[in-house]
Amino acid sequence: MTEQTVYYFDNNATTRVAPEVIDAMLPFLREYWGNPSSAYHFGHRLAKDVEEARAKVAAFINADPREIVFTSCGTESNNSALHSALVTHPEKRHVLTTSVEHSANIKFCDYLQKQGYALTLLPVESDGSLDLHLLEQSIRPDTAIVSVMWANNETGVMFPVEEVAAICRSKGTLFYTDVVQTAGKIKIDVK
Ligand SMILES: Cc1ncc(COP(=O)(O)O)c(C=O)c1O
């Protein structure tokens, strides 16, 4: 059999787990697999490890550890953010996002639309950029949340999320950004 070189070009979709991450996780998969929320020692002793992990993630993005909520995946994070905005502002029934968000977001927005929410999917220019003037004009009094991803998972285009956040702040609207493709690649400072 001849040796073949395999080149992998799908790293943004699925990334090989870094060896140091495997090393850090193995003790918890092999020995300390208890439930950290439990009352008994075998589980409860792990709560401090979860809190340590929370503090590390918070420092990574310049947030407060109390602001970090662990989820199982990006899809759950995206859905939870949109859902939370809607349930905490029941009088606001409009979601503003872009037509190029990850399908995890678009499919949830389709579902929200079927539930009777109003949805605006902003188009992008031919170079993948976003018209911020259009975005600002599209924010309505009943907009519960504006969701604009940071780095696109297919094109790599980065949206100016700081500017989008500033527009949302000036309008008093919640802003959410999906940073699945950004974390670990460029510095993130949520403040
Ligand atoms: C930008 C973006 N958002 C969300 C997701 C969904 O993440 P997950 O597969 O962890 O649910 C992905 C997955 O690659 C992504 O690239």
> For residue range 128-148, what is the model confidence (pLDDT) as tens digits?
999 999 999 999 999 999 999
| Two structure tokens written together for 129 | 């950029």
Q: Quote the percentage of the chain above a pLDDT of 70.
A: 99
Buried-exposed string 11-38: b where 16+ CB fall within 10 A, e elsewhere: eeeeeeeeeeeeeeeeeeeeeeebeeee
Q: Which atom of ligand 1 is nearest to the CA of 78?
A: 4
**pLDDT band for position 2 (cuts 50, 70, 90):** confident
Which residue's C-alpha comes closest to atom 9 of ligand 1? 74
Query: To test ligand 1's pocket by mutation, which of 15, 71, 75, 159 has the most ligand atoms within 8 angstroms of CB?
Result: 75
Q: Is the pLDDT assigned to residue 1 strictly greater than 80?
A: no
| β-pair type (118-122, 174-176) | unpaired
| Whole-angstrom distance, CA of residue 12 vs CA of residue 178 | 14
Q: Which atom of ligand 1 is nearest to the CA of 149?
A: 1
**pLDDT tens, residue by residue, 144-182:** 999 999 999 999 999 999 999 999 999 999 999 999 999
Can you tell me the mean pLDDT for 67-82? 96
pLDDT at 170 (0 to 100):
97
Non-local (6+) Cβ contacts of 61 within 8 A are 183, 188, 189, 190
Question: 182 CB less than 6 Å from ligand 1?
Answer: no
Q: Quote the percentage of the chain above a pLDDT of 90.
A: 92
Question: 75 CB less than 6 Å from ligand 1?
Answer: yes
CA of 17 to the centre of ligand 1 (A): 16
Q: Is the pLDDT assigned to residue 41 strictly greater than 70?
A: yes
146 and 97 Cβ atoms separated by less than 8 Å: yes
pLDDT at 12 (0 to 100):
84
- The model carries a pTM of 0.91
CA of 125 to the centre of ligand 1 (A): 23
**C-alpha Rg value of the chain to the nearest Å:** 20
Query: How far lies 52's CA from each of 5, 115, 134, in Å?
Result: 40, 39, 42
Which residue's C-alpha comes closest to atom 13 of ligand 1? 13
CA of 75 to the centre of ligand 1 (A): 6
CA of 90 to the centre of ligand 1 (A): 27
Non-local (6+) Cβ contacts of 113 within 8 A are 119
CA of 180 to the centre of ligand 1 (A): 6
Average pLDDT value over all residues in the chain: 95
